[in-house]
Amino acid sequence: MERIILTDLHMKRESYSYIDALHTIVTNKGWLSCSKAVLAGMTAMSFRFTVNRKLSDESSTAYNWMAEHFVAADLLGLRTAQQAGFSFQHTFPLYQKQAVQDIKQSIRQGTGVLIWRDSFVVISGYDDKKELFLYSDGLSEELISLKYEDFGCNNSPYWYYQLYEGKIELDIYEVYKESLMQAVSKWDTHDILLPQHEYACGREAYDAIVEALSSDDYDRRGAFETFRCYGAAKRDAAQYLCSLKSIWHEYTRVSELYLRIADLFDEIIHKAAREEWNVLIPLFMDAKRYEEQAIEELRALLSENIHNRFDDSGLR
């Protein structure tokens, strides 16, 4: 009966829970040594902006996990494998059994595993005698137990895990450029898996927020959590672009615009915490205007690269 716990594999909840978990794993392995904000930028996750039109708290995780997490890992040069599904499907017990074996194998090889446990968390170890995993959720200082038989049985019906098998070296400057092309794509396009009458993406997310606030028909608790999460993402994007302007001075204007956006989101979160909902609309309208300008700056700076993608700058 084995019991293996990987030391120093504790995540801290600060950004998207996916980025929090991914950063924990890749830095623990020594594959990357960058800040969480830079990781969020390089994977283009800090430029994701999708909201449920009722502003429910699942807005920040409403996207195509399999596709976007593959791209995020690919942008970093990570070799990964992932599986996902629904716990109500008849085949779930077979997938669950395979997941337990896959996760244990990764831990034996010294690599943590990212799973969905109503947020993205990191499995840091397992205990065969007690038949349970130990995971870090970014909130508790202690590792939390998860029985093998409970893997995938979440409050939501989704189960998911991503394994990390190694890393290849990439031209870091090409990584930066690719992430910014992904930023342009995320601003322009709607996630095809999400019904447009329920969700809005990119620039349209701002319009959906303003419409919800104007109608007074939205989830206030969910709205606060949505704004908090995207406030962290906008701050990550601003810090990422600030790091790039030291390499490419022409990105100074973009970084300044994202700093303004991040500051506006800080104010939005502060006002929402005090339930001053009526003053948020002009703040969101200003944020949209600044982000539109920032994306147009990126589009101009990357015009040749984007033109080579023809009608889809998000192609990989």
150 Cβ neighbours under 8 A, 6+ residues apart = none
User: Residue 308 above 70 pLDDT?
Assistant: no
CA 272, 277, 283, 284 dihedral sign is: positive
Q: How far apart are CA 16 and CA 2, in angstroms?
A: 33
For β-strands 132-136 and 120-127, DSSP reports them as antiparallel
Cite the beta strand spans of 60-102 per DSSP E.
Answer: 78-86
Residues 42-51: pLDDT tens digits? 999 999 999 9
User: Residue 315 above 60 pLDDT?
Assistant: no
pLDDT > 90: percent of the chain: 90
Q: Hey, is 88 helix, strand or coil?
A: coil
Residue type, 284: F
Residues 178-206: pLDDT tens digits? 999 999 999 999 999 999 999 999 999 99
Confidence of residue 310 (pLDDT cuts 50, 70, 90): very low
User: Are 124 and 6 in contact, with CB atoms under 8 Å apart?
Assistant: yes
User: Are 177 and 262 in contact, with CB atoms under 8 Å apart?
Assistant: no
Residues 205-232: pLDDT tens digits? 999 999 999 998 899 999 999 999 999 9
